[in-house]
Amino acid sequence: MQNARIKKWVPSYSPPGNPDLFYINNILSALWCEPDGRLPRLGNPEDPLDDLIYLMLTRRGQIRQAQRLFESLRLQFTGQGQEAPDWGAFVDRGVAALAICFAPLGLGQTRAKEIHATLNKIRDRFGRITLDRLRHWNNGRCLEFLSSLPGVSLKTAACVMLYTLGRRIFPSDVHCNRVLARLGVLPPEYGKQEQHKNAQRLLMDGRIPQEMAFSLHVTLVRHGQEICTSGSPQCHRCPLRGFCADYRRRATKQWENDRERPSCVDLFSGAGGTSIGISRPIEWGHDPRAETTPTMRIALAAELDPWAHKTYSTNHPEVPTDRILQADLTADGACERITAAIASEPNLVLVFGGPPCQNVSLIGTTGRKAATARRKRFSPPTYAAFRDIVKALRTRFFVMENVPGLFAAADGRAREDILEDFSDLYAVTDVHVEAHDHGVPQRRHRILIVGVLKGKEPKVAEQALAFLTGRLGVSLDRAPWSATFGDAVSDLPAVEPSGGEEFGRHRIGGEPAGSSAYQQVLRNGADLIFNHVARPNNDRDIELYKTLQPGEIGADAHRKYDRPDLMIYRNDIFLDKYRRQVWDAPSTTVVAHLAKDGHMFIHPRQVRSITVREAARLQSFPDDFIFTGPRTEQFRQVGNAVPPLLGARIRAAVLDTLERFYPD
């Protein structure tokens, strides 16, 4: 498994759509590790000779029955005071006796002849029946000798070398081949039994990184036995869906079949928080009598940052990879590219986007400077790109999300400029939303610019706009939780600074006692916890974290506790650079600054800053959502995201408006 205490997490980048064995290996290792954290051995003995006999018995038969027979023989021929079985005494019984012994497995006579001949050949070569000499041979010599033994295939030879000699060689296996073919590591036809030998040759040509050979082999076998079965794979349980070529093919086919459903374009999509809320039924407060929660189809998403783009693609396997663009929307021709890509969409109703305008945020000095800048019409490149695409597509609705400081730009006239930009085609207004009002355990105040296409009936558009913004501007009628910091994270494992796991398991045995309704919704049966590693903290930070009580900020270290030595920021300006969160209250706004440090998000009950998974819980991301990339990029993706629950509320409001005012 991935070492949980590595301070710097730097995975290699693999473009979306390519098999990513780094993530696949780590996910499988976390999923199938033993309770003590070790990888499974699948019942294979540790001695090479024992393992060879064991593998020859399990070949072409019932594995459980073969395991029981092997254990019986091993005990029978291990005398008192002996550490290993006397396989010489066993083989000296002769072929007929061995055939009777092996009869319950089937092919008794064939197995007897092969094992009898193999053990005698080993004795002839080494003077006694042992394979210990192989420990000093190189891989080529080992493989050649083992494969020369009667009844020993290339796969069996490779298994002995992997399991007992510690060699970095990947054996072919029916389960491994099937899963690797579905993942796209092997060609699809190589998952079939008749392609076993061809698959073995491919797997030994360096396709599997040597350092992953053992972990990937044993976990693929378990995965193929338990989840990715030959007849009815349990894809709903599989945490590899986002990396699986076969699942993507089937999900894309369903995506094509659903073309008549209302669909959405997500611009500046980031990691995809909005798209999760729009496309998945994760909202609550809807009519419990309804059989399904109406969702929308993602027609296209666009994001420039490569790691955010990879995160989006990984977590939206139902969207074709050619509809998840890594694109600079401010570049020449971007608008035309978007328009051409979705020209055939029959029911595109919404464009959503959060064009990044950090320079207008009021969090920090940059926003304050923007607020006092000389009057200039509001039209930064990202906003202008969003505006131009919306006006080119002319969807029924559009929603633009941004920070409250947006309206301080352009000498305080940004709102006026934005509404004027869209007013020729859309009935448009703004609505202020607080994420906590929509069930998110976080205080996150945002502005939504909302438009409804005027078309031939401007009055209907105005009425629809009033209805839509009314739905977005009010809090949930009811929510099954109080949406606090504790509600969000109390079930996650406690970790120390630098501790935790990028790929770990939830507590074995189901939901922990006292799990909140919020946690149960976000876990949704997930077995794994992703991205739950705490960043390292120095001694000064730890001392300051201990000093501050929940709700206190860095300035209190000086004012209340007379510890100015613990502060590294000016006490007269940066009053909130340190903040300890409150367990029984919503968190403060999760921000992208978490990529630089976690001082504003000190855990209220543990002496450390929060993990990416805790930040994701505060943002309402489900637990099966994997943030890819270095940890700084993960924090940035979480902080920049629209909470999926807010995306769900936007989707519900749009669909309700569509049904009420535009039923045709």
**Active site amino acids:** 357
Count of alpha carbons within 13 angstroms of residue 468, beta-carbon side: 31
Token pair 């980048």 is found at 13
**What angle is formed at CA 115 by the lines to CA 109 and CA 116, rounded to 5 degrees?**
85
Q: How far is CA 351 from the centre of its chain?
A: 25
Cα–Cα separations (whole angstroms), residue 79 to 54, 57, 131, 198:
19, 22, 20, 43
Characterize the bridge pairing of strands 445-453 and 397-402. antiparallel
Positive or negative torsion for Cα 186, 187, 191, 196: negative
Distance CA 440, CA 485 (A): 10
Say if CB 159 and CB 127 are below 8 A apart. no
Q: How far is CA 265 from the centre of its chain?
A: 22
Count of alpha carbons within 13 angstroms of residue 83, beta-carbon side: 2
Say if CB 320 and CB 309 are below 8 A apart. no
Q: Which residues is 579 bridged to in the sheet? A: 553
Positive or negative torsion for Cα 611, 506, 288, 488: negative
Q: 77: burial class by Cβ within 10 Å (0-12, 13-18, 19+)?
A: middle
**What angle is formed at CA 617 by the lines to CA 615 and CA 619, rounded to 5 degrees?**
70
Say if CB 175 and CB 224 are below 8 A apart. yes
Distance CA 408, CA 369 (A): 10
H/E/C letters for each residue in 421-436? HHCCCEEEEEEEEEHH
* DSSP single-letter state for residue 497: T
Distance CA 164, CA 169 (A): 12
Cα–Cα separations (whole angstroms), residue 255 to 81, 278, 299, 393, 425:
66, 14, 9, 21, 30
Characterize the bridge pairing of strands 297-303 and 324-326. parallel
Token pair 């066993």 is found at 90
